[in-house]
Structure 1
Amino acid sequence: MIVPEISQNAAAVADHYDELDPVYRRLWGEHVHHGLWTTGRETPGEAVEALVDTVGDRLGLIPGQACVDIGCGYGSTARRLAVTREVRVTGFTLSAEQARYANAHPEPGVDIQVWDWLANGLADASVDAAWAIESSEHMVDKPRFFAEAHRVLRPGGRLVICAWLAGTDASGWKVRHLLEPICREGRLPSMGTREEYEAMGTAAGFELTGFEDVSRRVARTWPICARRLVKALLVDRETRRLVLGARNRSSFLGIPRMILAYRTGAMRYGIFTMSKARKDGAPREPGKLTQ
């Protein structure tokens, strides 16, 4: 597990997203996560929605199911899946600004709350599916993140995680100059490897039913972000003021680090699919509603 030299907590994560909210929406839009390219011809907007749709596919969502979006950001994933899969979604975010934006763009069946997932207050076995798109990295206690997901899922429920991962063999300068600063500047309390995520999921009681390394298909996100940021700094006085005056402005130094981290293999991007066993001991089959 990569741990930053300066420890990060939930308050630091909330402050990061609250302060940089206007910049993120100007540069990234409503989806603050990677895009997923298949043909290479997708627009950035199509690519971010492709990642959301991939998550929906991995979950095997069925109309009417109760779902949880862990670290929901602006609620865009929750809204898209609520509309396209006809499910109900409760989203959790640490950022009051993200929740304010989400609740200003309501969608029937979507409820966005400002709450820490590690103390979410949901009842045991109360939801059918859960997902975390690039939010597990911000969890101070990752084993508890998995334990809470397992607790709130009904037997047969699925969890899909899209995660920034440290390369299994990353060491030396890759850790010192790429991964540790990415954690510190991006307010990540830690960054795990694929193997560590799988071990934590298994320890919480999940069965790993799928994993896909999509690093090559998401990596172009960061050159796009870099170009957008440079252009905005050059031509948009308000963005320049917001970025240069922010307490969290060091976060933007992470963009070139992310580009290099992907190119060197220091960092990977993985999609995990995990299932909670049914009462008969078997995971739910794709497309079948838990009884």
Structure 2
Amino acid sequence: MIVPNMSQNAVAVADHYDELDPIYRRVWGEHVHHGLWVTGRETPAEAVEALVDMVGDRLRLTPGEPCVDIGCGYGSTARQLAATRRVRVTGLTLSAEQAHYAAAHPQPDVDIHLGDWLVNGLTDGSAHAAWAIESSEHMVDKPRFFAEAHRVLSPGGRFVVCAWLAGTDAGGWKVRHLLEPICREGRLPSMGTREEYEAMAMAAGFEIDGYEDVSRRVARTWSICARRLVKALLTDRETRRLALGARNRVFVLSIPRLILAYRTGAMRYGIFTLSKAGENGAPADPGKFTQQEPS
């Protein structure tokens, strides 16, 4: 597990997203997560929605199901899946700015709350499916992150986690100059490997139904963000003010680090498909997603 040399907590994570809210929405968009290029011809907006569609497919969502979006950001993923899969979604975000934005963009069957997943207060077995798209990285207690998901899911429930991961063999300069600074600058309390995530998921009681490394298909997100940021710095006074004077302005340095981290294999992007055993401990579903090679 990569741990930054400056301790991070939920308050720091919330402050990061609240202060940089204008930059995030301008540079990264309302979804605040990577895009997935399947054909390579998608626009950035289409690629972002493609990642959400992949999550919906992995979860095998059916109309009317109660779902949880863990670390929901502005609620865009919740709104997309509620509209396209006709599910009911409860989302949680640490950021007051993100919760405020979500409240200003209401949608039927989507309920966004300001709150910490590690103390979420949701009822045992109240959700049939859950997802965490690039939010587990911000969890101070990752074993508890998985344990809470297992508790909140009903028997047979499904869970998909899209995560920034440290390369299994990353060490030396890759940790010192890429991964540790990325954690520190991005307010990540830690960054785990695929093996560490799977161990924590199984310890919480989940079955590992599948894993896919899509690093090559998401990496261009950061070159797009870099170009957007440069344009914003040149044309937008608020972006310049935050980039020069914000407490969390150091995150700007992480964009070139992220580009290099993907190119060197120091960082990977993995999608885990997990399930909770059904009644009487029976497997959740006989259909399994096969593990795939890095792409």
TM-score between both structures, scaled by the size of structure 2: 0.96
Letter in 2 for 1:245: G
In structure 2, stretches of 5+ residues that fail to align are 288-295
Size of the alignment, in residue pairs? 287
- CA distance in 2 between partners of 1:31 and 1:203 (Å): 30
- Following TM superposition, by how much is the alpha carbon of 1:242 offset from its aligned partner in structure 2, in angstroms? 2.4
Alignment correspondent of 1:106:
106
Letter in 1 for 2:102: A
Equivalent residues in 2 for 1:149-164 (5 A)?
149-164=149-164
- Alignment partner, residue 220 of structure 1: 220
1:33 alignment partner, SS class = coil
Offset at residue 286 of structure 1 (A): 7.8
Once the two structures are superposed, residues 62-106 of structure 1 have per-residue CA deviations (whole angstroms, 9 ceiling, x without a partner) of 100000000000000000000100000000000000000011000
Correspondence for 1:263 = 263
Q: Distance in 2 between matches of 1:286 and 1:250?
A: 47
Instruction: Tell me what 2:16 maps to.
Output: 16
Determine whether 1:138 maps to 2:126.
Answer: no
Q: Structure 1 residue 234 and structure 2 residue 234: aligned? A: yes
Distance 2:123 2:275 in 1: 18
Aligned counterparts, 1:7-86, within 5 A: 7-86=7-86
User: Is the contact made by 1:166 and 1:268 (CA closer than 8 Å) also made in structure 2?
Assistant: yes
For 1:57, the aligned partner's letter is D
User: Secondary structure at 2:279's aligned position in 1?
Assistant: coil
CA RMSD of aligned residues (A): 1.0
Residue 115 of structure 1 pairs with residue 115 of structure 2: yes
Tell me if structure 2 keeps the 8 A contact 1:60–1:286: no
Name the structure 1 match of 2:192.
Answer: 192
Q: Which amino acid aligns with 2:33?
A: H
Q: Which residue of 2 aligns with 1:183?
A: 183
- 1:254 positional shift: 0.2
| Aligned mates of 2:170, 2:29 — CA distance in 1 | 32
Whether 1:209 and 2:216 are equivalent positions in the alignment is no
Identity of aligned residues (%): 82
For residues 11-53 of structure 1, give each alpha carbon's deviation from its aligned partner in whole angstroms, at most 9, with x where no partner exists: 0000000000011111122110000001110000000000000
Partners in 1 of 2:6 and 2:46 — Cα distance?
36
Tell me the amino acid that sits aligned with residue 32 of structure 2.
V
- Whether the 8 Å CA contact 1:130–1:160 is kept in 2: the answer is yes
Cα deviation code 1:210-247 (max 9, x no counterpart)? 10000000000000000111111112222212221211
Distance in 1 (CA, whole Å) between partners of 2:24 and 2:175 is 26
Q: Secondary structure at the match of 2:273?
A: strand
- Deviation for aligned residue 1:257: 0.2
Distance 1:282 1:243 in 2: 52
Give the structure-1-normalised TM-score.
Answer: 0.97
| Structure 1 partner of 2:5 | 5
Q: What is the alpha-carbon distance in structure 2 between the residues aligned to residue 37 and residue 261 of structure 1? A: 18
Partner Cα distance (1:154, 1:283) in 2: 13
1:7 is paired with a residue whose SS is coil
Which consecutive unaligned segments of at least 5 residues does structure 1 have? Answer: none
Distance 1:48 1:176 in 2: 30
